[in-house]
Structure 1
């Protein structure tokens, strides 16, 4: 855990980036970005990238850039009145262009659409979201293309934790969101019993794992309270982490999952193994992934 002297300032979502290819996934991402922008008085940047190395879709616009045309097309069903919304076009390798734009414009959050249940490699713009989730220095919010329009809310946030540096990275963004919206944060830690045998009820190993889970829940709860979160619910469950978290989503009627990742080591080093990857692929609700800083990563 980070000590009090090492704590960073609480991150605010003042600038939000939505990469778009004009797809339904982009539309749902824009809706989520606008919902967050209203809460945080943020500027929404809409970016389209012309990929020189692949085919580009035909854009339905006349005179304006694809990003500007996309913003205009959303005006009828996404109320962005009063918000600062900017458009931009870049050319190059798509994920590099998105990450470069985020860095150059001090973006606090990237919001991207996904294509239903077809997996991480069928995200918006091919495998771009996968690469951005792995490499972005800021949180990435993935929103499914088949989400119901106009239903984006963040009243109940699920935060899985195992006490690792990756899990710790997700606490601050969760606290930022929840304190601004008076959301309830549902903390869950999963005791992974997959490889412990049949009779694990009285196992010393399970007791030790439960102790670790209890400590992780307690530490995260204390930090969230410091960040101004008023309502925190906690639970320790047993089973396969990925399935247990999906069950927790349903039990909490959660609107959002926030989960941490580990440094630059790629998607296979997510919190709880490959759980975050699976959640981004199949979660019925939006998933925010937060990459742990390189300095805080354990070797």
Structure 2
């Protein structure tokens, strides 16, 4: 049924449940597994001379963190005998990067975690998962 499954990761414990689910689904369906970690761009400001961290140092740190996140997913997949293609991208909005990546890679299922916020917290904080759900036509499986 599914040929390509994308599981975005932010490295959180909650995302680990989505990763486990995506790995199991990929195994059951004989699907290709992809993972993605989105890096934040450098927060440039008008007063660039007083930035606490130089841009390249910030970007290098972001790349190290993102790479570690996708390597963790790839290792979990490999432990169960499944290959995983890992990608990192820089984007202002993670939800847009996830949708764009899913389209570019011709993914037919996105597996994401939900933090389970309700009420005012959900309204004020929103979520990348919610934004992916409302802006994509691809199937999205939400893991709580």
TM-score (norm 1): 0.41
- Is the partner of 1:163 in helix, strand or coil? coil
Match of 1:252 in 2: 105
Match of 1:221 in 2: 74
1:167 maps to 2:15: yes
Q: Which structure 1 segments of 5+ residues have no match?
A: 1-152, 292-299
Query: Contact conserved, 2:96 with 2:132, CA < 8 A, in 1?
Result: no
Greater per-residue helix proportion: 2
- Is the partner of 2:74 in helix, strand or coil? helix
* Aligned pair partner of 1:177 in 14, 25, 47: 25
- Is the partner of 1:162 in helix, strand or coil? coil
Q: How does 1:64-143 map to 2 (within 5 A)?
A: none
CA distance in structure 2 between the partners assigned to 1:266 and 1:277 by the alignment: 12
1:207 maps to 2:37: no
Query: Contact conserved, 1:221 with 1:232, CA < 8 A, in 2?
Result: yes
CA distance in structure 2 between the partners assigned to 1:196 and 1:238 by the alignment: 12
1:197 maps to 2:44: yes
Query: Contact conserved, 1:189 with 1:236, CA < 8 A, in 2?
Result: yes
CA distance in structure 2 between the partners assigned to 1:227 and 1:290 by the alignment: 20
CA distance in structure 1 between the partners assigned to 2:72 and 2:135 by the alignment: 28
TM-score (norm 2): 0.81
Query: Contact conserved, 1:172 with 1:227, CA < 8 A, in 2?
Result: no
Q: Which structure 2 segments of 5+ residues have no match?
A: none
Match of 2:35 in 1: 187
Match of 2:85 in 1: 233
CA distance in structure 2 between the partners assigned to 1:175 and 1:234 by the alignment: 13
CA distance in structure 2 between the partners assigned to 1:168 and 1:201 by the alignment: 32
Query: Contact conserved, 1:160 with 1:245, CA < 8 A, in 2?
Result: yes
CA distance in structure 1 between the partners assigned to 2:6 and 2:66 by the alignment: 16
Match of 1:6 in 2: none
- Deviation string for 1:37-73 (max 9, x for gaps)? xxxxxxxxxxxxxxxxxxxxxxxxxxxxxxxxxxxxx
